[in-house]
Amino acid sequence: MQLRCRLQPLLLLLLLCWLVLCRAQLGDLRGDPEDLGRPPQCNPVDITVPMCKGLNYSSTSDHLALGTQNDVATLLHQFSELIKARCAPFLRLFVCSMHLPFCNEQQHLLVRPCREFCFRIRGLCEPVMQTHGYGWPDRLACEPLPSSKSKHLCLVPKHDEFNAELDNLKQRKYPFGVHHVGMEDRPNRPLPPPPPPPPQQPPPKNRSGAESPSGARQCSAAEVRLGQEPNSSCAPRCHASLLFSAEDKQLASVWMTLWASLCLACTGMAVATFLLDSDRFKFPERPIVWVAVCYAVYSAAHLLRAFLGPDLACSSHRLDGRDRHLVSQYAGQWCAAVFLLLYSSWLAGLLWWLALTICWYLCAVKKWAHEALSAKSVWMHLAAWGLPLLLSVLLLVLHRIEADELTHLCVVDGSQPFNLVAFVIGPCAGALLLGLGFLTCGLCSSVTVRDSLKWSGNLGFRRLEKLMTKISLFSFLFVLPTLCVLSAAFYELAERPGWAASLRAVLAKPHCAEASGLRLDLGADCSPERRPSSALYMLKVFMSLAAGLPAGLVVWVNGKSLDAWRRCFCQVLLRRKSSFGGGRRGAGGSAGGVPYASVARQGGGVGGLPNQRTPSCGVSGIGSGGGCGSSRKGGRLTGSCSASSSQV
């Protein structure tokens, strides 16, 4: 019954987590619709882009991945010289269908170019582009397109028409060279550079300073446009390396998994020790156990992210699952689950440490006993578990979460300074200041009591010194890494605007960005001037997990905990030995003519120890005539295992 009462807060926490996950799953299906089993749906609208008028189709989708048709018209201007070159048949149809796919008016299905059509166009035009120093654009990638042999509809010209048009084009020349169409086997012919594009007027600027003809910032190749104008934004692609390199991400993943495993092992042992011998952990030190529980959940969330992989922090706003990007505000169900576990357990750990200092203050200054604090423990559980869950749900509902590029963990959205101040820096700094104040007052009062007991000759001052040392040492080892995490939050708050401005300046250069991230091989011109320190962020990961290590060590790395584990193993072994012996002798049997019942009752205790309380590990009655007992030797309580002659 006592164990069930202790587990009620944890069961309530799991129930609330399940409810939030159900809500997150519904929100994910509503905000990020992905159904790979069905063809992409669309609502047809007329094509208004001049370059793409007069094709074999005249309607496209009203929801385009690249924004509005005005945005597409701006992007298609980059391919105007390639289309004029006519390096392949049906080139204009291919380029337009990649940016403005055909929307079937009868079935409302989105029809894209076939993969075979794309590869044939690429085989004809890519050698020509390479002679001018250009590679095949990422926006025209062929791999994600459907095959003509699949069940999905796709666009492809007839084979005879394509070959006939190709024969006609082979007799013509490029407008800026002597390389003929279809002669991709002769890529080394020298070609003069293409003529420079005509000067353009600077487009208008929006409030954020980003430039675009329609007022929204133009997304680079390493980004994905989200939403519709005028509220559209650009999100980094799922695995794009912008502020951190790919090597930094791999190292951070290994580093995070290593320390999360160590933290989970240490705090898990502490929780198991508490369940084994919960009566030994009394107030004011019992909150240390709940700190260990919080950091066990916190480390488990890191391991869940490591198990599910970095795609956990990625999402897509398209029906076919393409253009996956890092989570920005709208999270999927697994991202929401990891965020819920991370934020609520981290904040609950802070509040339980604050509860420890308050209990210490009430014991030392107000002279509260264990029973008085235990009677108020319900309110401690309500505040320490309820407030973090409430804030976590509030952040999920308000869409104030994002994916961290280095670790791909779902965390509080730091792009807005208010979020960091209100939900990270404020609670952490407030809990630390209040906790240190209560701890200082409690220690000062305890020192006075210790001195009076010591001068009066009362040996109870040694126990008080031990308790003071334990709470002080644990608080120091907890506060130190928490201060490092708080310092990292201040560092991000101060430097993040500069990182964003430097990154925008680099992404504005078309040659510096590709789908995999920034092209750092091009030198300092494509490297942001201000970037976050990967070493500092990995130190933050370590310190956030290291705060849970002292809670685990204080609970189970001591003599009493080791004795409890030894007694538990002893009970299990004796129970198995007793059941094995009883099965061999049969029910009601005896060994050496001594009945089991008489042996068990000798001395009124266990193992012949009169009136001796038998410690247990949650199991009563280990078998007749044997068990784990304890005895007094020299005023010290020592554990012992005894067996009667009936068990030999």
pLDDT band at 323 (very low <50, low <70, confident <90, very high): low
Of 98-112, 192-206, 263-277, 402-416, the least confident: 192-206
| pTM (2 d.p.) | 0.60
Higher-confidence residue of 362 and 554: namely 362
pLDDT band at 194 (very low <50, low <70, confident <90, very high): very low
Alpha helices in 79-202 (DSSP H): 80-85, 91-99, 115-131, 159-169
pLDDT (tens digit per residue) in 154-166: 888 888 888 888 8
CATH of the structural domain 237-569, one choice from 3.30.470.20, 3.30.9.10, 2.40.50.140, 1.20.1070.10: 1.20.1070.10
| Tokens found for residue 131 | 């002679």
237-569 has the same fold as 44-170: no
| Tokens found for residue 218 | 């133009």
pLDDT (tens digit per residue) in 485-536: 999 999 999 999 999 899 888 888 877 888 788 887 777 778 888 889 999 9
For Cα atoms 154, 160, 161, give the angle at the middle one, nearest 5 degrees.
Answer: 75
Q: Which residue has the tokens 């320390």?
A: 259
Delimit the domains of the chain by residue range: 44-170, 237-569
Output the pLDDT for position 411.
92
Q: Which residue has the tokens 């038998």?
A: 614
SS in 3 state form for 202-271? CCCECCCCCECCCCCCCCCCCEEEECCCCCCEEEEECCCECCCCHHHHHHHHHHHHHHHHHHHHHHHHHH
**8 Å CB contact between 215 and 201:** no
The pLDDT of residue 116 is above 70:
yes
At the top level of CATH, the class of 44-170 is mainly alpha
pLDDT band at 259 (very low <50, low <70, confident <90, very high): very high
**Rounded to a whole number, what is the largest CA-CA distance in the chain?**
113
> How does DSSP assign 297-323, residue by residue?
HHHHHHHHHHHH-GGGGEE-SSTT--S
**Average pLDDT of the chain to the nearest whole number:** 74
pLDDT (tens digit per residue) in 596-621: 333 333 334 433 334 444 333 333 33
At residue 71, what is the residue type? Answer: D
The pLDDT of residue 640 is above 70:
no
Closest among 472, 476, 474 to 442, alpha carbons compared: 472
Closest among 19, 108, 12, 114 to 397, alpha carbons compared: 19
Share of the chain above pLDDT 70, in %: 73
pLDDT (tens digit per residue) in 563-594: 878 888 888 888 877 766 554 444 444 344 43
